[in-house]
Amino acid sequence: MNGDQRAQLEKLSMNLARAALTAQGAFAEMALRQAEHPAALSPDPFHVAPALTEVMGRLAAQPDRLMRAQADLFARYLDLWQNTARRAGGESPAPVAEPARGDKRFADPDWSENPVFDVIKQSYLLTANWMNGLVADVDNIDPMSKRRVEFFMKMLTDAFSPSNFLASNPAALREVMATGGESLVRGMENFSQDLERGGGKLSIAQTDPELFTIGVNVATAPGKVIFRNELIELLQFSPTTDEVHEIPLVIFPPWINKFYILDLRPENSMIRWLSSQGFTVFLASWVNPTPELATRTFEDYMREGIYEGTAAAMEQAGVDTVNTVGYCIGGTLLSSTLAHMAAKGDKRIASATFFAAQQDFSEAGDLLLFSGEAWLGDLEKKMDEGGGVLSGQTMADTFNALRANDLVWSFFVNNYLLGKEPKPFDLLFWNSDQTRMPKTLHLDYLRRFYGNNQLAKGEFVLDGVTLDLSTVKTPIYVQSSKEDHIAPARSVYKGAKLFGGPVTFMMAGSGHIAGVINAPAANKYQYWTNDTLPATLEEWQSGAVETPGSWWPNWAVWLKARSGGMIPARDPAKGKLKPLGDAPGTYVKVKS
């Protein structure tokens, strides 16, 4: 061993020791914090044990099926061993198991080119696919129990991916050797910082929040706050055309997130694009609730959100009707309000557009798994500890768990195993900027919509009115996304069928966010349209026409036909309501 090699070995040894000490200190601090809150150490945080018992019991009752599955797994492993031997002999056999399309965990070339890592990868895929398939094939059990176990099994197999461990991740091992162990030191420092930021609970950084400032490089569309109450600030954005349509557009985004997903950057801002199309755009920016708002209800959000928001927009614009948009949970609120308005004879809303919004929750996304009474009991305890609100971090953890490979494990590898800083990404900054949830509203929403599906069943009572969506005759445009895991297209379609008036249903490519935020200039994805509304989504799809690119222009044509004639553009500073400040307002800047 020469001097350079000796120096490199000493550097590596010292850095490994430093990394170990940093990790030890972080784990010790975490243990102390967790000891102060023993409830956080629940042995079954996802409440999957009863469902798992049911599924395993069913499997045990079918020993022949289990034996066939085990024999199939063994045969697949024999194929892998034979291929490994053939590869060692210089052949190039086809893989026995390959990652699914879009799986980024095994993108490093060594996962395929290095025989050792290739065997590790294929062994993992064989076992993970077998375990997930075994659960998926179980029959004659409660569908929700099966779905809960499928979700848990996917989480479990994703967590045990060899890409998540230093010793079996070729990129991480190369980085350790190339930096003399410094990558591990940085990784453990990142780990310690994330634990500190999470108060003893790991809060993985997805991007550098210091690189983004609301109102400076995100949420920059110019405008004014023209109305404020305890729940919303109503923003009116500045026009960019000389003339605008007479009937303005009022947008109600979800209160689970902040509104600026609609205004991240100028080039993909829906708000700016709508303004460029000649629409007067108003938007409700929901408050980030404090414990003082813990007892606010769904009815409060209807009255102070949609009723007061649309009233302020009509007064400001000098009109007696508005067009509206409801995104995600904001759409659920809007559809409920439309039924309430129908019962009251209120015709202020000329049209309603829904982005990824559900009314029928019988086939809702994976959030449905977090609406059982045991889970809600845990949520209620957390909210009581938080003074009556659910922390934004808890909301973030829930949504991240739904896409763990993309939103958890990829950052685990990047930040800790590779020792790198997360890349600046405005979408992930928005994703981590979650809001709190008021206790009464949130529990009621999860129980009555996800748990009991009361709106679709005609059992939802609001302000003494039993809501019936079939009485809603307002023209409606429904956007869904083909790969939406929160508001699946099938669920959105079932909701679209509940309305009593003319409904236009459209399906976009991609998922819950990219399917909605797809500016025409990006020239990405596609969308499907069908003028009919048959019984099922599958029937609708069979007759649908695919169009490449953004769906926004299609919606704009529909919206313009319902927005009246052209009038001089409206200046937010010169309306009937005195401006209370500049957009994006103050509510959006409140951190959780």
Distance CA 400, CA 162 (A): 20
Per residue in 344-402, pLDDT (tens digit) is 999 999 999 999 999 999 999 888 888 888 889 989 999 999 999 999 888 888 888 88
CA 350 to the chain's CA centroid: 30
The alpha-carbon radius of gyration of the chain (Å, integer) is: 27
- pLDDT given for residue 546 in this prediction: 98
- pLDDT given for residue 16 in this prediction: 63
**16-20, 244-248, 276-280, 425-429: least confident range:** 16-20
Task: Please confirm, yes or no, whether 307 is among the known catalytic residues.
Answer: no
Distance CA 273, CA 518 (A): 11
- pLDDT given for residue 9 in this prediction: 66
- pLDDT given for residue 372 in this prediction: 82
Q: What residue ranges in 341-387 does DSSP mark as E strands?
A: 349-355
Work out the widest C-alpha separation in the chain, in whole angstroms: 89
Distance CA 587, CA 287 (A): 5
Q: What proportions of the chain, in percent to the nearest 5, are helix, strand and coil?
A: 55, 10, 35
The residue type of 71 is A
What are the backbone dihedrals phi and psi of residue 454, each rounded to the nearest 5 degrees, phi first? -70, -35
Q: Which of 542, 536, 539, 468 is nearest to 497 (CA)?
A: 536
Q: How far is CA 151 from CA 87, 248, 286, 489, in A?
A: 36, 43, 31, 19
- pLDDT given for residue 178 in this prediction: 93
Give CA angle at 585 (552, 290), nearest 5°.
110
Instruction: Tell me what the mean pLDDT of segment 449-468 comes to.
Output: 96
| Percent of residues, the chain, with pLDDT higher than 70 | 94
**Higher per-residue pLDDT: 24 or 510:** 510
Contact 333/339 with Cβ under 8 angstroms? Answer: no
177, two tokens: 């050797």
- pLDDT given for residue 555 in this prediction: 98
The pLDDT of residue 300 is above 90: yes
Q: Which residues face 281 on adjacent strands? A: 249
The active-site residue, picked from 218, 328, 478, 516, is 328
Instruction: Tell me what the mean pLDDT of segment 583-587 comes to.
Output: 98
| Percent of residues, the chain, with pLDDT higher than 90 | 75
The pLDDT of residue 299 is above 90: yes
The pLDDT of residue 592 is above 90: no
The answer, yes or no, to whether the previous bond of 584 is cis (omega within 30 of 0) is yes
Q: How far is CA 469 from CA 172, 343, 487, 498, 499, in A?
A: 54, 10, 19, 6, 5
Report DSSP state, residue 264: S
Q: Which of 164, 150, 99, 106 is nearest to 125 (CA)?
A: 99
Give CA angle at 479 (476, 484), nearest 5°.
145
Per DSSP, the three-state class of 288 is coil
CA 270 to the chain's CA centroid: 18
Q: Which of 326, 514, 527, 520 is nearest to 430 (CA)?
A: 514
- pLDDT given for residue 125 in this prediction: 96
Instruction: Tell me what the mean pLDDT of segment 161-187 comes to.
Output: 93
The pLDDT of residue 142 is above 90: no
Instruction: Tell me what the mean pLDDT of segment 231-253 comes to.
Output: 98
- pLDDT given for residue 436 in this prediction: 95
The pLDDT of residue 334 is above 90: yes
Distance CA 409, CA 427 (A): 17
Mean pLDDT in the chain? Answer: 92
Q: What residue ranges in 159-280 does DSSP mark as E strands?
A: 223-228, 232-237, 243-245, 249-252
Distance CA 98, CA 406 (A): 18
Q: Would you say the C-alpha torsion 111, 117, 119, 122 has a positive or negative sign?
A: negative
**31-40, 140-149, 543-552, 564-573: least confident range:** 31-40
Distance CA 190, CA 407 (A): 16
Give CA angle at 137 (136, 139), nearest 5°.
110
Instruction: State if pTM tops 0.85.
Output: yes
Q: How far is CA 318 from CA 239, 247, 313, 314, 567, in A?
A: 16, 9, 8, 6, 12
Q: Within 10 Å of residue 513's Cβ, how many Cβ atoms? A: 18
557, two tokens: 């044509």
**20-24, 60-64, 397-401, 434-438: least confident range:** 20-24
The residue type of 234 is L
CA 480 to the chain's CA centroid: 14
pLDDT-based confidence at residue 23 (cuts at 50, 70, 90): low
- pLDDT given for residue 243 in this prediction: 98
Q: Within 10 Å of residue 480's Cβ, how many Cβ atoms? A: 29
Q: What residue ranges in 367-458 does DSSP mark as E strands?
A: 389-390, 437-438
Q: Which of 347, 302, 327, 328 is nearest to 501 (CA)?
A: 347
Pairing mode of beta strands 476-481, 349-355? parallel
Burial (0-12, 13-18, 19+ Cβ within 10 Å), 93: middle
25, two tokens: 């200190």
pLDDT-based confidence at residue 199 (cuts at 50, 70, 90): confident
Distance CA 200, CA 27 (A): 9
Per residue in 203-218, pLDDT (tens digit) is 889 998 889 999 999 9
Q: Which residues face 225 on adjacent strands? A: 235, 581
Domain limits, the chain: 3-197, 223-371+436-589, 372-432
- Under CATH, to which class is 223-371+436-589 assigned? alpha beta
Contact 335/326 with Cβ under 8 angstroms? Answer: yes
Distance CA 333, CA 307 (A): 11
Pairing mode of beta strands 249-252, 526-529? unpaired
Distance CA 71, CA 127 (A): 13
Q: 76-80, 304-308, 386-390 — which one is most confidently predicted on average?
A: 304-308
